[in-house]
Amino acid sequence: MLNSISAPWPFMKWGMDIVGKLPAAPGGVVYMLVLTDYFTKWVEIGAYQQIRDIEVRNFIWKNIICRFGVPKEIVTDNGSQFISFDFKNFCDKYAIKLSFSTPRYPQANGQAESTNKTIVNTLKKRLEAEKNQWAEKLPEILWSYRTTPRRSTGETPFSLVYGSEAVIPIETRLSTARSENPDEEQNNLELSFELDHLDERRDRAALLTQSYQQQVARHYNKKVNV
């Protein structure tokens, strides 16, 4: 049975996965390390020639802890990089709970079988389409993903993280409040409004995520029981 598991606040819980081998890109990189925040659906990705536990530790330190704070939990599979003595010590050092899921027992992490896996598979398909240029396209693809509303939350990952929508390239060519000469007082008022309502939007996103996960779980369990 697939259980729906979510995180009650941003950056508390991350899903981690390795994608590859991909076609060799400049620099010989063939693997991606992908971490997805369960709440905001924000994604961080690193490209590597090989992924050992030291690459995983360094990536989590630089891209997760130093940017978003220490997570309470990281969910991954039983890859050798994630069950090594050094990586477990790293997690213990920061009091990070390390949880595991396997394809055979998805109930250990329902979300890894739904939201996180969907994200990884979508990114993988887009990157594979770029063949050996995928590493160069990675920032562009990440930008597109982060600024596109997610079905499970109804919000963009960018807005749930930063409290406002990103200025996208096409907006700079249009006459909008943000592209015209800014008014400091008006900007401060709008920023205050956005920040005041950020918690409300995050609460709404959490409810939508829970509802979406329950739908996914019901669909999965119905298929399994057939």
Residue at 5 is within a domain = no
What pTM was computed for the model? 0.72
Residue at 209 is within a domain = yes
Dump pLDDT digits (tens) for 136-162.
888 888 888 898 887 767 788 998 888
Q: What single DSSP character describes residue 76? A: E
38, 7 Cβ separation under 8 angstroms: yes
Residue with the bigger pLDDT between 101 and 194: it is 101
Residue at 65 is within a domain = yes
Residue at 143 is within a domain = yes
Average pLDDT over residues 124-147: 82
Residue at 183 is within a domain = yes
Q: What is the number of domains present in the chain?
A: 1
CATH number at residue 163: 3.30.420.10
SS3 161: helix
Dump pLDDT digits (tens) for 34-87.
999 988 889 999 999 999 999 999 999 999 999 999 999 999 887 888 989 999
Residue with the bigger pLDDT between 206 and 57: it is 57
Question: Where residue 2 falls among pLDDT bands split at 50, 70, 90?
Answer: very low
Q: How many CB atoms lie within 10 A of CB 178?
A: 13
The range of the structural domain enclosing residue 188 comes to 13-225
SS3 86: helix
Residue at 76 is within a domain = yes
Q: What does the mean pLDDT of the chain come to?
A: 76
Residue at 45 is within a domain = yes
For position 89, what pLDDT does the model report?
96
Residue at 85 is within a domain = yes
Among 56-60, 188-192, 202-206, the range of highest mean pLDDT? 56-60
